[in-house]
Chains A and B, each alone.
Chain A
Amino acid sequence: MKADPKSVLTGVHFIDGDQACCEGALAAGANFAAGYPITPSTEIVERFASRAPAAGGVFLQMEDELASSMAILGATWGGAKAFTVTSGPGFSLMMEHIGYAAMTETPCVFVDVQRGGPSTGLPTLPGQGDMMQARWGSHGDYEVIALCPNSPQECFDLMIDAFNLSEQFRTPVMFMMDECVGHMTEKVVIPSADEIEISPRRYTSVPPSEYLPFRAGPDGIPDMARAGEGYRTEVTGLTHDEHGYPAMDWKSQHKLVGRLVSKIRDNANCIARWEEHALEDADVAVVAYGITSRVVGQAIEMAREEGLRVGLLRPVVIWPFPEKRVRELAKQVRALVVVEMNYGQIVHEVERCAAGLARTLLVGHGGGAVHEPENILQILREAAR
């Protein structure tokens, strides 16, 4: 289906990533947001609080991030398209509900505008230290989808994809921004509503008497029922059977959690998305995402001027990781250089995918500022040797 024109601010805008993220959510059909103020993400819900009522949406500022992350799940079961917005400390508090959303297959989007951490860290300055937390932060086994924009335009575009993926796979989707992308102002083109494709919720078409809320279709994903429609669905975070009833035994655990994992894993190749630049002849592949993918652009240019054959792989969807492509590259290049604003997170994934076929190097950074291109260049020279 197409986007609703009353939520789409069609036109050419000069706005920052936070504002663009909000517009993306609205265009995607989000009509419920709950949040707790936290720098550098607050502007997203400030804008939503002002824009949503005209489009029939609701914003509620909750008492903390535990409440925000649970209110959006209640709203989703009530029929809304919902998201919450936070940064590191709040993201940590939301972990339990990311797990609950995964377990109950509740579509929703969690936006994390990353800042320097750990703990209170650097509230106003960038970081990329939550990348593994987005993947593994809640206890137990589950899979998520995580997207990683590197411009205000992508904050808009990918936010729509985030909502669509959450509906298609009935899973929480992480939207991993960083302070730089959130606060940088650039041109953002918002198309007309009829150019925006929206994935509707997978509501069941069978009558209540035949409905089993957690019986999956052939694609491994069950259809939902909205509260108040007579389906009287039981939803629980306990391991459950197809009725949604608690089932405390290993067979039910394997059936349910196995399905939760495989519905994403089996589709990893079609969910994974990346961008490439100058990799055709590359001896060295840089892997970078978010704001860092833009900083490495200059380092790659400088390296090319020195005659080093360096290219860039930028994961746009970071989870599931572009495993196959990294493996192929590892066969082609001498080294994979991971540039990220942390002391080594995605580098472990790259190293795993490279499986010893190429050297894997890290250009780490504690956050608080972006990398200096010269420091990246130094490692590129070493990698090309």
Chain B
Amino acid sequence: MSTAQMNPVENFLRMDRMPHIWCPGCGIGTTVNCFARALVQSKLLPDKVAIVSGIGCTGRVAGYLRLDSFHTTHGRAIPFATGLKLANPGLTVVVYSGDGDLFAIGGNHFIHAARRNLDIKVICVNNFIYGMTGGQVGPTTPLGAVATTSPYGCFERPFNLPFLAESSGAVYVARWTAYHVRHIAQSMVEILNKRGFCFLEIISPCPTLYQRRNKLGDGLDAMRYYKQKSTVKNGANTKEVEVNFGGDIIVGKFVDIERPTLAGAMAAQLSKSPENV
């Protein structure tokens, strides 16, 4: 293959696994493109970057990236990443998964990894729905939105993910939509080069299951919606960035602070003598 024809992101993809399984209009592939570009820009050695996913549509990301790729069990990408990072501190460990995987079945692990300030990067593609299993309601489904298991409309208040991440202890919190490709890539570069528990939410269309059932059009209509209704508010109070059905979307970098990482705090504490043993 001549290098002139090669897309720079191909270096980071398992091209022998293409075509991927994602639907036309889905935003996950867009985010993967951003991630591959961010890897180039981050100057990290790809051999030292590991990617861990859970289960679901976004859970398939790990397998398509030509890195050390771990497709784990449902909800447990973060615990796997915890062991991987602590056993091999030289790795940059990225958890790339969906909203259902990270915040329903895996919610407990998310808040604890953030609390510990484990040095991992969590990228959540939030499509408001369980895609792979056919469009069920989830912990991020907006009030009133229709899903196969909420045919009358969702009656549970969803998580506000940036607020959850910040209050649990994340040192970096940002949100973009699949429309904001340059911002996504920029945030990815930032988290790849930042120490501590970093969280990036990417709101992304699921045309097949979420858009269609809620009469929101296709992937392109989702882009129009994101373009028209998104407002960039860097440093916004995360308490105030809730997403409502069809409502405004606040995007931007909300949190970027420093505090000791789990490994740092552990090393400092272990230098003292043990008590009561």
Contacts and interface: CB of A to CB of B under 8 A. Distances in A.
Contacts of B50: 227-228
B192 to A, nearest CB: 15
Contacts of B79: 34, 62, 66-68, 70-71, 74
A60 B86 contact: yes
A367 B274 CA distance: 36
A82 interface: yes
Interface in A205-242: 226-238
A62 B82 contact: yes
Label chain A's interface by main secondary structure.
mixed
A151 B87 CA distance: 31
A75 to B, nearest CB: 3
Interface residues of B, number: 40
B112 A63 contact: yes
Nearest to A52: B270
Interface in A54-107: 58, 60, 62-64, 66-68, 70-80, 82, 96-97, 100
A235 B70 contact: yes
A297 interface: no
B90 interface: yes
Residue of A227, A230, A233 with most partner-chain B CB within 10 A: A227
Interface residues of A, number: 46
A80 B63 CA distance: 23
Interface in A30-57: 31-32, 34, 46-47, 50, 53
A136 interface: no
B88 interface: yes
B164 interface: no
A96 B112 contact: no
Interface in A234-284: 234-238, 243, 245-246
Contacts of A63: 108-109, 112
Contact of A234 (B69, B266, B270): B69
Contact of B68 (A46, A60, A227, A243): A227
Contacts of B78: 67
B17 A245 contact: yes
22 contacts: A58-B87, A58-B266, A60-B82, A62-B79, A63-B112, A66-B79, A67-B112, A70-B79, A71-B79, A71-B82, A73-B80, A74-B52, A74-B80, A75-B83, A97-B76, A228-B88, A228-B90, A228-B91, A230-B47, A234-B14, A235-B70, A237-B71
Interface of B: 14, 16-17, 46-48, 50, 52, 62-63, 66-73, 75-76, 78-88, 90-91, 108-109, 112, 266, 270, 274, 277
Interface of A: 31-32, 34, 46-47, 50, 53, 58, 60, 62-64, 66-68, 70-80, 82, 96-97, 100, 226-238, 243, 245-246
Minimum-distance CB pairs A-B, first 4 = A74-B83, A78-B87, A75-B83, A78-B88
Given A67-B109, A236-B63, 18 more contacts: A34-B79, A58-B87, A60-B82, A66-B76, A67-B112, A70-B73, A70-B79, A71-B82, A73-B83, A74-B85, A75-B84, A78-B85, A78-B91, A80-B83, A97-B76, A228-B68, A237-B72, A245-B14
